[in-house]
């Protein structure tokens, strides 16, 4: 019997579109809706310079949503025997922290409306968010144990069983686990896309804290040591922005690692911080052939996410 060949494309491979889910008054954005919508509009306009946008709005068709974090409830697209297949994993609101029933249904509704062309959709009985894994397109996945092994996701599965499922669903041969790394204000149990990102040519961009007085310092130093222990990777540390807080004094997860790679460009979150310029330079070092575009995502971190979290790339060949 011939076994199917599967592959999870890297984000920097050609894309058809990016999925965005518009913030509306029935979401947690209600108290800062205008600022959030302005940021989404800037992200949408930047993407449309290079490719299409699939925009989910509550007033378009029957597409209600709980929230706007397309990265985590949108489809993950594999290449199977050379053709794209959409995988619709279960989204449970980051371990039951927030309502997720409407968001969990969105991918299926979009497919029924023809948003993904004739590409087949496969429902997967596994809780998994797109922001929790990184792929190099060559069979290696990067993730965190804090998220994927959290009992609020798949309590019946141990580490070996989750590894087996990841390898089976994505055709992966290597799973790289990080046991350290945490951002205050993060609701995701340490999604990898807030901490470290796989890049072309065996490069990893990662969040680095250079302030020993900062509470993040010990854990991010431990994460840095884990990355340094990996073989044959070029490591590019991102700068550390000054602390950002909400009106209640809660620290917000301002991370430069939460960028989005699209056709011909990389959209990088900025925070009106002196470190913004250096962050753009670091990302440009990893993607020298692309335009680097900074977008102020200060409104997004008020809801504890950033630019990558609100987007999901749709690889080339899906929408045709």
Q: Which of 147, 199, 297, 309 is catalytic?
A: 309
Find out whether 143 and 177 touch, Cβ atoms under 8 Å: yes
Q: Is 309 an active-site residue?
A: yes
Strand-pairing partners, residue 267, are 260, 293
User: Which residues neighbour 231 within 8 Å (Cβ) at sequence distance 6 or greater?
Assistant: none
Cβ atoms within 10 Å, residue 211: 12
Distance CA 151, CA 304 (A): 22
Distance CA 2, CA 11 (A): 28
Q: What angle do CA 13, 17, 23 make, to 5 degrees?
A: 125
Cβ atoms within 10 Å, residue 30: 11
Distance CA 77, CA 61 (A): 24
Distance CA 140, CA 170 (A): 10
Dihedral sign (CA 276, 137, 166, 87): positive
User: Which residues neighbour 306 within 8 Å (Cβ) at sequence distance 6 or greater?
Assistant: 194, 253, 254, 255, 258, 269, 297, 300
Distance CA 60, CA 39 (A): 20
Find out whether 187 and 147 touch, Cβ atoms under 8 Å: no
Find out whether 85 and 119 touch, Cβ atoms under 8 Å: yes
Positions marked active-site: 309
């Amino acid at each position: 019997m011939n076994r199917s060949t599967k592959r999870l494309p890297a984000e920097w491979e050609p894309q058809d579109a990016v999925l965005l889910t518009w913030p509306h008054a029935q979401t947690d954005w209600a108290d800062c809706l205008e600022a959030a919508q302005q940021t989404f509009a800037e992200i949408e306009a930047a993407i449309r310079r290079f490719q299409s946008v699939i925009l989910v709005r509550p007033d378009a068709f029957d597409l209600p949503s709980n929230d706007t974090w397309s990265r985590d409830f949108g489809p993950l697209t594999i290449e199977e025997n050379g053709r794209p297949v959409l995988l619709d994993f279960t989204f449970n609101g980051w371990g039951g922290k927030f309502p997720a029933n409407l968001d969990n249904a969105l991918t299926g509704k979009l497919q029924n409306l023809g948003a993904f062309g004739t590409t087949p959709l496969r429902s997967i009985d596994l809780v998994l968010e797109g922001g929790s894994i990184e792929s190099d397109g060559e069979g290696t996945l990067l993730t965190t144990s804090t998220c994927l092994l959290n009992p609020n996701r798949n309590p019946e599965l141990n580490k070996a069983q989750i590894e087996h499922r990841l390898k089976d669903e994505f055709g992966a041969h290597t799973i790289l686990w990080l046991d350290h790394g945490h951002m205050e204000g993060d609701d995701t149990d340490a999604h990898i896309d807030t901490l470290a990102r796989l890049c072309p040519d065996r490069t990893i961009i990662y969040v680095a804290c250079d302030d020993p007085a900062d509470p993040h310092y010990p854990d991010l130093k431990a994460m840095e040591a884990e990355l340094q222990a990996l073989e044959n990777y070029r490591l590019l540390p991102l700068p550390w922005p000054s602390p950002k807080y909400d009106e209640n004094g809660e620290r917000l997860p301002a991370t430069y690692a939460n960028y989005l790679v699209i056709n011909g460009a990389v959209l990088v979150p900025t925070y009106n911080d002196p470190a913004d310029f250096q962050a753009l330079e670091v990302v440009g070092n990893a993607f020298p052939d692309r335009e680097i575009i900074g977008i102020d995502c200060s409104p997004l971190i008020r809801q504890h996410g950033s630019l990558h979290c609100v987007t999901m790339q749709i690889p080339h060949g899906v929408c045709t």
